[in-house]
Amino acid sequence: MMPPTATIEDIKAHQERVEKDKITPDNLPPCSRCRVESAFFKVHAYRERRFLIIIEMLIKAVYSSLVRFKCPGCGKTFTHYPDFAIPHKHYTLPSITGFSASYLESDGMTYKQAVMVDSSVPGYPENNSTDAPTLSPSTLHRWITTLGRFTRTLRTALILVLQQNPISSICRDLARMIIPQRKYKTNLRKKQLTGCQQLLILEAFFQAIFKTSIFTKLAIRCAFG
Ligand SMILES: [Zn+2]
């Protein structure tokens, strides 16, 4: 089995779009400070960003630029994220959603087991000195926290799915979902796990209907909230 990850080609393709000025601000939400529509935003800066992808069970750093736009109304800046990235995460979206799904898919699964692929854990090449030699269970724990907070994205995606297909089984599927008690000690964690799993279930419905991921335009439009 291959570990879930964006590929080096995905990242290179994004870099090429940056270099050819193909990145537009259109999908960004209006300015959160002064409400100017994102279509009026201007390119402000390019920032190099390190992404971590997994190639043959090795974690590799690949660099690409992210475009920062500036609101002409008030000067606030906004980062554009490519399909494979979400704010504040170095690993790519397929890794974040894939390992999170594998933690949630079975009741007895632990974080330690869920970061494994075919009984080994993706790691850094030995000569690469770092204090995090492998993909750690605590990283996966944090990914679920992050995905569990996409409340506005989740709500909007659910509305869109139901508008498109009012008899969809999605509400039943979400209601039937139970987080096993051994996976949380606090209500906050239960809420994060529930939010994360709902987002992943909804993502499957959303992809089937709209042939695109919740994370490509919708999450951006919802400011990853
Ligand atoms: Zn503004």
pLDDT digits (tens, 9 = 90+) for 135-183: 999 999 999 999 999 999 999 999 999 999 998 899 999 988 999 999 9
207 CA distance to ligand 1 centroid (A)? 32
Q: In what order do the strands lie in the sheet containing 77-80?
A: 42-55, 58-70, 77-80
pLDDT category of residue 131 using cuts at 50, 70 and 90: low
199 CA distance to ligand 1 centroid (A)? 30
Q: CA Rg, the chain, in Å?
A: 19
pLDDT category of residue 71 using cuts at 50, 70 and 90: very high
Longest dimension (CA), the chain: 55
- Looking at this protein, which amino acid is placed at residue 169? S
pLDDT category of residue 107 using cuts at 50, 70 and 90: very high
Please report, to the nearest 10 degrees, the dihedral formed by the alpha carbons of residues 210, 213, 215, 217 taken in order: -40
2 CA distance to ligand 1 centroid (A)? 43
72 CA distance to ligand 1 centroid (A)? 6
Question: Is the pLDDT confidence value at 203 over 90?
Answer: yes
37 CA distance to ligand 1 centroid (A)? 9
Question: Is the pLDDT confidence value at 219 over 70?
Answer: yes
Q: What share of the chain in percent tops pLDDT 90? A: 84
CB proximity list for 204: less than 8 A, separation 6 or greater: none
Task: State residue 125's pLDDT score.
Answer: 78
Task: State residue 129's pLDDT score.
Answer: 56
What are 19-63's pLDDT values in tens digits? 999 999 988 999 999 999 999 999 999 999 999 999 989 999 999
- CA-CA distance, 118 to 224, in Å (whole number)? 32
- CA-CA distance, 28 to 70, in Å (whole number)? 11
Task: Name the helix (H) or strand (E) containing 67.
Answer: strand 58-70
- Between β-strands 58-70 and 42-55, what pairing exists: parallel, antiparallel or unpaired? antiparallel
pLDDT category of residue 127 using cuts at 50, 70 and 90: low
- 124, 130 contact by CB (below 8 A): yes
158 CA distance to ligand 1 centroid (A)? 29
151 CA distance to ligand 1 centroid (A)? 24
Q: How far apart are the first and last CA of the chain?
A: 32
Task: State residue 175's pLDDT score.
Answer: 87
66 CA distance to ligand 1 centroid (A)? 20
Question: Is the pLDDT confidence value at 132 over 80?
Answer: no
Helices 187-210 and 151-164, packing angle to 10 deg:
40
pLDDT category of residue 198 using cuts at 50, 70 and 90: very high
Q: State the average pLDDT for the chain.
A: 93
Please report, to the nearest 10 degrees, the dihedral formed by the alpha carbons of residues 110, 215, 191, 141 taken in order: 30
Question: Is the pLDDT confidence value at 195 over 70?
Answer: yes
23 CA distance to ligand 1 centroid (A)? 19
Task: State residue 128's pLDDT score.
Answer: 55
Task: State residue 187's pLDDT score.
Answer: 96
79 CA distance to ligand 1 centroid (A)? 14
28 CA distance to ligand 1 centroid (A)? 12
The two structure tokens encoding residue 25? 């601000």
33 CA distance to ligand 1 centroid (A)? 5
The DSSP letter of residue 134 is B
- 84, 94 contact by CB (below 8 A): yes
Give the pLDDT mean for 124-142: 78
43 CA distance to ligand 1 centroid (A)? 14
